[in-house]
Amino acid sequence: MKNKIQELRKSRKVTQQELADALCVTRQTIISLENGKYNASLTLAHKAAQFFGMTIEELFIFEGDENLGG
């Protein structure tokens, strides 16, 4: 699943560590999220969306056939 975390973080001049502290996760988790290596849980996605002041759908781009069992 793609996301706009890196783009938004950079535009708001927030460091990875600051974002990690705000979301109560490690910096490595932020790096993995930005690289698309790790998909956030609903809780983390909600926290991240709240941090950037947008909805989960706006922050995370769901690409159709991901784990829909089809």
Q: Is the CB of 42 or the CB of 64 nearer to other proteins? A: 42
Q: Give dist(CA 3, CA 5) in Å, integer.
A: 6
Q: Is the CB of 1 or the CB of 44 nearer to other proteins? A: 44
Please report how close the Cβ of residue 27 comes to other proteins at its closest, in angstroms. Answer: 10
Please report how close the Cβ of residue 21 comes to other proteins at its closest, in angstroms. Answer: 8
Q: Give dist(CA 12, CA 53) in Å, integer.
A: 12
Please report how close the Cβ of residue 58 comes to other proteins at its closest, in angstroms. Answer: 21
